[in-house]
Chains A and B, each alone.
Chain A
Amino acid sequence: MTEIREIPIVARGRIIRPEGEDSELFYGRGGAQFRSPDPHRHIHDLVLGNPVLLSDLMETPTSQIIEFLVEVGKRLRLEDNAFFQESFELGLLAGGLSEPILRSVYERLPAMFDGAVLSERVEQTIGSAYLDGWVPRENLEGRHRIRAVGTRQLHITAGNVPVVAATTIIGGALTKSDILIKSPSNDPLTASAIARTMIELDASHPVTRHIAVAYWKGGDEAMEQQIVRTTRIDKITAWGGMSSVKHIQKFLQPGLDLIAHNPKFSVSLIGAEALESEAAMNEAATGIAVMSGLMNQTACVNTRLVYVECGEDEDSLAKVEDLGRRIAAAYGTLPAFFSTPADALNLELEAELKSAAMEEDFYTVIGNTVEGGVVISRFPDRVDFYEQLNNRMVNLVPVADLFDAIKWCDDTTQNVGIYPESMRDRVIAPFALAGVQQFVPLSGGDPAGVYQEFNTNPAGLPHDGIEPMRRSVRWVIDHRPARGQTTMTAIAAE
């Protein structure tokens, strides 16, 4: 029998457990079942009706918030945090990551709470001075002072990697904001586990007092209508595009700022030089394998399409096939902490691959959805099912000119892997205009090294083409009178 897990509501320093009639059963993925308090009874626990109640957080210096988060981070260890252990267990059941990968993701979560990292995230974006006080403009005698003021935020988070839960909580604290997190069914507990760890540490801390976490079924109109109101929410951060925003769309109105992290996928651009020598081919293959294989291709950063600069003649296509075989082989060399074979075949994708393989004039398929592999287009177009590419399966598409790939890039294109480096400066500008968000290197040739390079992003970089931290606060101006005027008023008053 399936065990029914309890998912409490975390409401501003309090934990509300399902009890008696105040209880609702939800069915998650992978057969997971969980019981939560009836969220409809707790609207007022979840939202902050009066924004002025944020003054406690506003008055807490950023340095103290960072100190608190650092303490929280120290307690987020899988080995001795019972909340984390439970969340990890449920994440394995309900999410899409294999055990070694999910474990390594959890093991790296505390590093997100490192003091220097947190400080960099604030200083490189908003700047703590703007959060802690009014910062005068230098011109006009500093009469205009600006402050970044916290907001009330609803976060509809993605659950494919628990990192999203952690970064949401950190972002909320660092922007001195009140956050309500609607947990996803594929990661129902990570945010809750972090919030409960905070309560254990200090239930009365202003940061703890401004975090609420709950699960309700996306599209529950009675819920969303109550929550998504300008009187209760200032900003909505929605991951997952239409599927998550289509329900709340009807409640959107001027005054509610929607920060949409639309679903994205990533691509790679492989220059002709990659096919010219064995060494280059191996280096490119390793880079592609890492970029598509990390977290088993469940995330937006994974390359699914690989545009290769070459002709459509047999010789060129044979070289692309050679590259494809090397990519398939490289999957086998990836360390288990970031990439593993899949537990089972992906039947839908297998069916696509099977029918593609039937048309050998058009496609060549190497590998499968357990070990990973490639599907090679033998003409310059993507496969129809490119959105379904998963389980470490990429589509290699020959293009006569890399700029031909621009037409397939838009705001849904997140990262663009580049190989070799020599062509980077020549190609990136038009792709940036087309809508892509980040160019990343594929060179190095050593899987762990390439992976390491992917993980060296400093804190506080833009994300999805915007600066979410700066976007999450309200920028308020305090316009004071000129000095002379102040004096005159003072005299008149006397």
Chain B
Amino acid sequence: MAQAVTATGIALDPAHPEFWPELGFDALYAMSWRDCLEPQTEALCLRFQQMNGLLPALDKLASKEAVTRIDGIEDALPLMFDHRVFKNYPLSLIETRNIPKLHAWLGRLTTHDLSGMDLEGLPTIEAWLDRLDEFGMLVTTSSGTTGKLSFIPRSQIEYPAWERSYMLALHASLGVDPYVDKVETFSPSYRGGHQTALKVPMMFNTLAAGGVEHYHTLYQTHMSADLMSLAGRMQAAEDRGELDRLGLDPALLSARQEMIALARRRPQDLADWFKALFEGCRGKRVKISGLGGDLLRTALDGSAKGVKPSFAPGSIAFYGGGLKGFKHDLPDWEAYVCEFFGIEKLGTCYGMSEVISQSPRCSHGNYHIMPMIVPVLFDAEMKPLPREGKQTGRFGFFDLLAQTYWGGFISGDEVTIHWEEDCGCGWKQPFVGPTISRYADKDGGDDKITCAGTAKAYDDFLAFVSEG
């Protein structure tokens, strides 16, 4: 098959989108999406051909939608997975630790044959995820507002492109090449585990820092997947005085107590940790990586107490997760954070657990999508919006870096995509920005009142401890 060559003379091989990140972000952003569309489309069609018949979840959807082959992006739209697909298992499987059924369910989402994996002696979900890692999978979990865990069925096959594209996003948003320029990294977070927000940094921040010993976190523990997914049920059982009747591993119960205690003292720990960091790294070049809210809280606290770091020039910070409702009255909180930490660059990306390639923010504050993702916007009736001008709708995409699971996904985010590549920062490709909102947050804006339904149980515990 002939390689598609873009106007700038760069080849995007449709047979191997996993190699596209190797071209570097400069080259990828020099291309117009219009020139990438052909290799992207071809790559998408190939992915479908390769997976057809090997991925039960996709086969099922394809047969329901009567899609047997795809020749263009439009043909593939009915095959996009809803955000529910990665958590489409009964919660009772987790409550009863029915690992075989959960395992069989996950097996339908990946082209890997998981049936050969030994399921003996797996008392917890966490242990199951550990063993999946040993088996060659790299499943990450994320929890939405309901607390129910999504399982993203990635594997070692995706790893190289995953790493490349992650480093690319870091490089593009911070201006520092993490392969070349290793910077001691500090993150006020938990450490390890399978949660996307912890597992991904463990894989890649350690690499960017120059090794695990150069990646420092506030806590050396993490919250187990079991604890995260059962937090709601455990709280309900505790309220009834029946926590012991859930038949849970005693270790899980004590882990829960520890997490609650940890979360209570986290503000103090955070302040102490940063203070130690400021003192220990005076004059050193560092990278700080964390939630926007934590960075701002630290800056405000530090300013009030007169504690201020003096890192070496060239220090950088990268944040994710936004402010998560952290209230402030600053006109430009990011400038305030940069000023306080004495850093030159505060980078961030737009992404989600379900996509491999993150979209880095440019100098003009927009998030540019790399060609490894084919973005699609949908209107309220789930009709695709035209790829022109500026469009606002539900964000969906085909992730061409997904090699062993289906990368077509419809998110819960409402975004604006600018298709005319008129950002002005110098980068091309469609860009998202500047605001991103979640459809789930829009509920409740309606003033209607009915007698039906139940008040959604707000899970304090999860909100409390999952912040890190």
- Chain A residue at smallest Cβ distance from B447: A185
Taking A184-B448, A218-B449 as given, write out 20 further A-B residue pairs in contact, using a Cβ cutoff of 8 Å, ordered by the A residue number: A158-B449, A159-B448, A159-B449, A184-B447, A185-B446, A186-B449, A218-B447, A240-B451, A242-B456, A263-B453, A264-B454, A298-B450, A298-B452, A300-B451, A347-B382, A355-B84, A357-B64, A359-B105, A384-B146, A387-B456
Q: What A residues does B282 contact at CB under 8 A?
A: none
Contacting residue for B92 out of A96, A184, A264, A379, CB 8 A: A379
B444 touching A243, Cβ below 8 Å: yes
User: Which residues of A91-106 are within 8 A (CB) of B?
Assistant: 96
* Closest B residue by C-beta to A218: B447
In the complex formed, the residue of B with least CB distance to A413 is B454
Which residues from chain A sit less than 8 Å from chain B, CB to CB? 28-29, 96, 156-161, 164, 184-186, 217-219, 239-244, 261-265, 297-300, 302, 347, 351-352, 354-359, 361-362, 377, 379-381, 384, 387, 412
Give B407-448 interface residues, CB cut-off 8 Å to A: 444, 446-448
**13 CB-based A-B contacts, threshold 8 Å:** A158-B450, A160-B448, A160-B450, A186-B448, A261-B451, A263-B450, A300-B452, A351-B82, A358-B64, A361-B101, A381-B90, A384-B146, A412-B454
Contact assessment for B455 and A242 in the assembled complex, using a CB-CB cutoff below 8 Å = yes
Knowing A29-B446, A218-B447, say if A302 contacts B60 (CB, 8 Å): no
Nearest residue in B to A359 (C-beta to C-beta)?
B88
In which size bucket is the chain B interface? Answer: 20 to 34
Q: For B452, give the chain A residue with the smallest CB separation.
A: A300
**Within the complex, what minimum Cβ distance (angstroms) separates A411 from chain B?**
10
Would A264 and B452 count as touching, CB distance under 8 A?
yes
Q: Report chain B residues within 8 Å CB of A186.
A: 448-450
- The listed residue with most B CB atoms (<10 A of its CB), out of A28, A244, A299, A384, is A384
Task: Decide: A381 and B449 in contact? CB cutoff 8 A.
Answer: no
Q: Does B89 contact A (CB under 8 A)?
A: yes
From B64, B444, B449, give the contact of A156 (CB < 8 A): B449
Residue B234 is within 8 A (CB to CB) of chain A in the complex: no
CB-defined contacts of A299 to chain B, threshold 8 Å: 450-452
In the complex, chain B residues whose CB is within 8 Å of the CB of A242? 455-456
Listed residue (B381, B444, B451, B456) with the most chain A CB atoms within 10 angstroms of its CB: B451
Closest partner residue, chain B, to A304 (CB atom): B452
> B452–A381 contact, CB under 8 A?
no
- A-B complex: 6 closest residue pairs judged by Cβ atoms: A240-B449, A160-B450, A186-B448, A381-B92, A263-B453, A355-B84
Given A184-B447, A239-B449, is A263 in contact with B454 using a C-beta cutoff of 8 Å? Answer: yes
Selected from B82, B382, B450, the residue in CB contact (under 8 A) with A159 is B450
The interface centre, meaning the residue of A184, A240, A298 with most chain B CB atoms within 10 A of its CB, is A240
Least Cβ–Cβ distance between B118 and chain A, in angstroms: 22
Q: Is residue B66 contacting chain A, with contact meaning CB distance below 8 A? A: no
A327 to chain B, nearest CB (A): 19
Cβ contact within 8 Å between A241 and B455: yes
Quick check: is B307 within 8 A (CB to CB) of the other chain?
A: no
Contacts of B82 in A (CB 8 A): 351, 354-355
User: How far is A164 from B450 in the complex, measured between Cα atoms in Å?
Assistant: 10
* Min C-beta distance of A302 to chain B, whole Å: 7
Residue B281 CB within 8 A of the other chain: no
Minimal beta-carbon separation of A62 from chain B (angstroms): 28
A297–B453 alpha-carbon span in the complex (Å): 11
Q: Say yes or no: is B148 at the interface (Cβ < 8 Å to chain A).
A: yes
B179 CB → nearest A CB, Å:
39
| Given A356-B88, A387-B456, also A264-B449 (CB < 8 A) | no
Within 8 A of A (CB), among B297-344: none
By beta carbon, the residue of chain A nearest B381 is: A347
Please tell me if B57 contacts chain A, counting CB pairs below 8 Å. yes
Tell me the smallest distance from the CB of A26 to a CB of chain B, in Å.
9
Asked if residues B455 and A412 are in contact (CB atoms below 8 Å), the reply is yes
Chain A residues, CB < 8 A from B37: none
Q: Which of B84, B381, B447, B448 counts the most chain A CB atoms within 10 A?
A: B447
- With contacts A262-B455, A351-B82 known, is A240 near B450, CB below 8 A? yes
When distances are taken between beta carbons in the complex, the residues of chain B under 8 Å from A265 are 452-454
CA distance in complex: A247, B381 (Å): 32
Tell me if B51 counts as interface (CB < 8 A to partner A): no
Is B85 interfacial (CB 8 A cutoff)? yes
Indicate if the CB atoms of A381 and B91 lie closer than 8 Å.
Answer: yes
Report if B61 contacts A (CB, 8 A): yes
Cα A381 to Cα B233 in complex, Å, equals 13
Q: Which residues of A contact B446 (CB under 8 A)?
A: 29, 185
Contact with A along B87-100 (1 / 0, CB 8 A): 01111100000000
CB within 8 A of B90: which of A244, A355, A377?
Answer: A377
Q: Tell me the residues in window 60-85 of chain B with beta carbons closer than 8 Å to chain A beta carbons.
A: 60-61, 64, 82, 84-85
Enumerate chain B residues within 8 angstroms of A377, measured Cβ to Cβ. Answer: 90
A306 to B450 CA separation, bound complex (whole angstroms): 22
* Residues from chain A with Cβ under 8 Å of B453 in the complex: 241, 263-265, 300, 387
Q: Chain A residues near B88 (CB, 8 Å)?
A: 355-356, 358-359
Nearest residue, chain A, Cβ from B87? A384
Contacts of B444 in A (CB 8 A): 243
Q: Which residues of A contact B455 (CB under 8 A)?
A: 241-243, 262-263, 412
Would you call A217 and B452 a contact (CB within 8 A)?
Answer: no
Contacts of B447 in A (CB 8 A): 28, 184-185, 217-219
Which of B57, B92, B449 meets A243, CB within 8 Å? B449
What is the minimal beta-carbon distance from A424 to any residue of chain B, in angstroms?
25
Q: Which of B382, B451, B454, B456 contacts A160 (CB 8 A)?
A: B451
Question: In the complex, which residues of chain A have a beta carbon less than 8 angstroms from the beta carbon of B381?
Answer: 347
A355 near B92: Cβ-Cβ < 8 Å: no
The residues of A that contact B90 with a CB separation of less than 8 Å are: 362, 377, 379, 381, 384
Query: Please, how many angstroms separate the alpha-carbon atoms of A380 and B60 in the complex?
Result: 25
B415 to chain A, nearest CB (A): 19
Contact residues in B for A244 (Cβ distance below 8 Å)? 449
Structural contact, A185 and B451, CB atoms closer than 8 A: no
Give Cα A29 to B446, complex, Å. 8
B113-140 CB mask vs A (1 if < 8 Å, else 0) is 0000000000000000000000000000
A387 to B443, CA, bound (A): 14
Instruction: Please name all residues of chain B whose beta carbon is closer than 8 Å to the beta carbon of A380 when the two chains form the complex.
Output: 92
**Contact: A164 with B452, CB < 8 Å?**
no
Closest to A161 in B: B451
Contact residues in B for A347 (Cβ distance below 8 Å): 381-382
CB of B449 within 8 A of CB of A157, answer yes
Residue contact B452 to A160, C-beta cutoff 8 Å: yes
Chain B, residues 172-216, CB within 8 Å of chain A (1/0): the string is: 000000000000000000000000000000000000000000000
A358 to B58, CA, bound (A): 9
Q: A355-B85, A362-B90, A377-B90 are in contact. Are A185 and B448 (CB under 8 A)?
A: yes
CB distance from A461 to the nearest CB of B (A): 16
**Chain B residue with minimal CB distance to A157?**
B449
User: Are B451 and A164 in contact (CB-based, < 8 A)?
Assistant: yes
Query: Which of B60, B92, B101 is A358 in contact with, Cβ under 8 Å?
Result: B60
CB distance from B96 to the nearest CB of A (A): 9
Roughly how many angstroms separate A28 CA and B445 CA in the complex, as a whole number?
A: 11
Chain B: minimal CB distance from A331 (Å): 18
Which of B64, B146, B455 has the largest number of chain A CB atoms within 10 A?
B455
Q: CA–CA, A161 to B452, complex, Å?
A: 11
* B58 to chain A: closest residue by CB: A358
Closest Cβ of chain A: how far from B148's Cβ, in Å?
A: 6
User: How many whole Å from A204's CB to the nearest CB in chain B?
Assistant: 32
Q: Chain B residues near A362: list those with CB within 8 A.
A: 89-90, 105
